Amino acid sequence: MSATEASPAEKGVMQIESFIGFAKRNGGLIALIAIILFNIAFTPNFLHPQTFFVNISQVATIAVVAVGMTLVIATGGIDLSVGAVMALAGALAPLIFTSSFAEAYPMLGLAAAFVVPVLVALLCGLFNGSLVSFLNVQPIIATLILFISGRGIAQVLTNGNLQTFSHKGFSYLGTGKILGLPFQGWLVIAIACLIWWLVHRSLFGRYLLAIGGNETAARLAGAPVRRVKIGAYVLCAGLAGIAGLIVVAINSASDAARIGNLMELDAIAAAVVGGALLQGGRAPIFGAILGAIIIQLVKYTLLANGVADEVALVAKAGIIIAAVYLQQGRKE
């Protein structure tokens, strides 16, 4: 053995370090493969098409909100109000398409049921972004305001009642299919591709990542910091509004007290698992989709194997801790 040749022990250490590095770079994908293999082996009917469709429907809302949350996290912020915004949008839609206006003008009423809730959600994002950008309120505090009040407004609008309905046009958002796959799955793909293009191919995206990486340097370089930050919160809230409509359309019912409940936790977890850094500067859009799928499959796996729903919250916390640990390795 030459002086420069590594000993068998050193080669073993190098291989272990190489494997750890690979795991850190591809932790999300490895976790997804492990969960799928576990379900194939132990979960009854996991490969049944109906199970596939149910998981697509369930993961769609998490994925849509997680993509928006990734944009906010990329600026170094956080949005705790996404669940409340979902409840607000979800409460408004049935009120609109069951109104006397919608009865008189069905097509206009249906269009308004999609457009108005999303516009209201965008205004919520504008409110959050303005607090963060102009008043320098900490993001967690700024979004806490709507986290508390948004769901209350939704419950006031509906008098706290469960709204049930039967409307084929609106329900297509949650129950329609294209080429045999749920419509909301295609919607998630379209949104992810659009936001990916926005982040990686537009000036807004470059500013977004620059501001998250070093806000002071970005400002000195001429980046419109306030406008970009507001844009991130507006997009996040708008996507939360769309997610709220999907939930209502799937259930053919609107319960302001339950729509989007704890969605902020799922969205943050999905974004972090997908590779977003809480310090900002990264916006892995398709990583957020991967994180959402992992979060959904963890919940499904636990429930399908008879584990209490509450345990899923503990599992999610464990996933977040593991993801943050891996991110620290990437940052270093």
Kindly report, residue by residue over 239-252, the tens digit of the pLDDT. Answer: 999 999 999 999 88
- In sign, the C-alpha dihedral spanning 41, 46, 52, 55 is negative
At 207, list the tokens. 């500013």
CB 291 within 8 A of CB 270: yes
Percentage of the chain modeled with pLDDT above 70: 94
Predicted TM-score (pTM) of this structure: 0.88
The amino acid at 240: A
CB 229 within 8 A of CB 129: yes
* Whole-angstrom distance, CA of residue 293 vs CA of residue 300: 10
Question: Looking at residue 22, what is its pLDDT?
Answer: 67
Q: Where are the alpha helices (DSSP H) in 134-274?
A: 139-157, 168-175, 183-201, 203-213, 215-220, 225-251, 263-273
Contacts for 219 with CB less than 8 Å, ≥ 6 apart? 211, 225
Report the run of H or E that residue 182 belongs to, with start and end: strand 181-182
Pairing of strands 181-182, 177-178: antiparallel
* Whole-angstrom distance, CA of residue 290 vs CA of residue 183: 19
pLDDT at 89 over 60: yes
pLDDT at 253 over 90: no
* Whole-angstrom distance, CA of residue 150 vs CA of residue 157: 11
The amino acid at 129: G
At 266, list the tokens. 């799922």
